Amino acid sequence: MMNAKLCFRKTENRYTALLRALENIETDEAAGVIESYEKSLMETDLAIREVKMFVAETVFTSAAEEVHFFKHLKPLFISQFIYCSKVLEIEAAKPNAGQHMLKDYYEAELQQLKNFVDEYSDFYEYYRRKATYLDHKYFVRGQFDFKMSVDAHLYSFDENFTTSHDHLIAQIIANDRLEKYLLQSVYRIEGYFYEKFSDKSPLTWSGSKSGLIELLYALHVMRCFNAGSGDFSETVKFVAKSFNIDPGNIYKTLHEIKNRKTGRTKFLNSLAESLDHHFESIMD
């Protein structure tokens, strides 16, 4: 038998190894999307089986130790499994009937994620607020309270490796990743529409490239696009195409902005001053 501290260390090390293996699979250019996610699913399943053995050999001496494992460690592995399973399902079943239908397909999947949030809104709030007052019921084995919302499939789980709500945390983590995946898929399709069916934009960015990157990154940090769920590079790509400009190496530009000796927000400061002067002039 092992103590909780050793179990935690072995579990964390196994998760690090899993991430490394998944990264290697993702960077394998020879594999297609479906093949990659099938490999990722098998790799994740193997890791979960090993972690399950760790728990079987562990004696938790307090509720706090058990809560730590089932609230913070186990969901990392299960969320990977859920995510890979769902992406595999989405990609295998997606329609081959044109970009419009494919966009509708991805947006329907996004709606399902929203439906899940609505169904478990109370627990979402508990989790997002980092609350702990119900942890002894949610993340300790055998502490099911049937006055609370409990997963209907609970009894098909291994009672030695399952609490009433650890699976929901895994689902939330997976859903956050799925939302990003689906949004990026929609963005790619919208880019396709713009490229194939739209005329060249009549607008051309006439300011500096660094100014544009500074502006867009400020908006990105403020979560102004899709509530912050979009990828910054996709935002730059779309805006650059709209304004007929080659943004260059955006991450090099960001690095240069970050290390400016004269101030990181030079363009934003100038923008604010110009707007303020403009309003002053028209009010005189």
Tell me the residue type at 228: G
Alpha carbon 242 to its chain centroid, in Å, reads 26
| Final residue in a domain of this structure, among 156, 176, 196 | 196
Phi, psi of 2 (to 5 degrees): -125, 160
Tell me the C-alpha distance between 159 and 43, whole Å.
23
278: Cα separation from own chain's centroid: 41
174 pLDDT band, cuts 50/70/90, is: very high
Examine the domain organization and report whether 177 and 48 are in the same domain.
Answer: yes
DSSP, residue by residue, 235-260: HHHHHHHHTT-----HHHHHHHHHT-
Residue 3 binned pLDDT confidence (cut-offs 50, 70, 90): very high
Q: Do 62 and 188 lie in a common domain?
A: yes
Same domain, 279 and 176: no
DSSP state of 170: H
- The count of structural domains within the chain is 2
Give the SS3 label for residue 130. Answer: coil
Mean pLDDT of 20-32: 85
Does residue 179 sit in the same domain as residue 206? no
Residue 263 φ/ψ, nearest 5 degrees? 120, 135
Kindly state the tokens that stand for 108: 């329907």
pTM as predicted:
0.66
pLDDT: which is higher, 17 or 189 = 17
Q: Average pLDDT, stretch 84-109? A: 89
Residue 93's domain spans which residues?
A: 2-196
Phi first, then psi: what are they for 58, rounded to 5°? -110, 140
Report the chain's mean pLDDT, rounded to a whole number: 86
Summarised one tens digit per residue, pLDDT across range 176-226 is 999 988 988 888 787 655 555 455 666 788 888 888 988 988 888 888 888
177 shares a domain with 62: yes
Q: How far apart are CA 165 and CA 251, in angstroms?
A: 40
Shared domain for 185 and 225, answered yes or no, is: no
3-state secondary structure of 32: coil
In a shared domain, residues 154 and 210: no
Q: What is the mean pLDDT of residues 16-26?
A: 93
Same domain, 107 and 215: no
pLDDT in tens, 130-155: 999 999 999 999 876 545 555 545 54
Rounded CA gap, 16 and 230, in Å?
Answer: 26
**Polymer length of the chain:** 284
Q: Are residues 189 and 212 in the same domain?
A: no
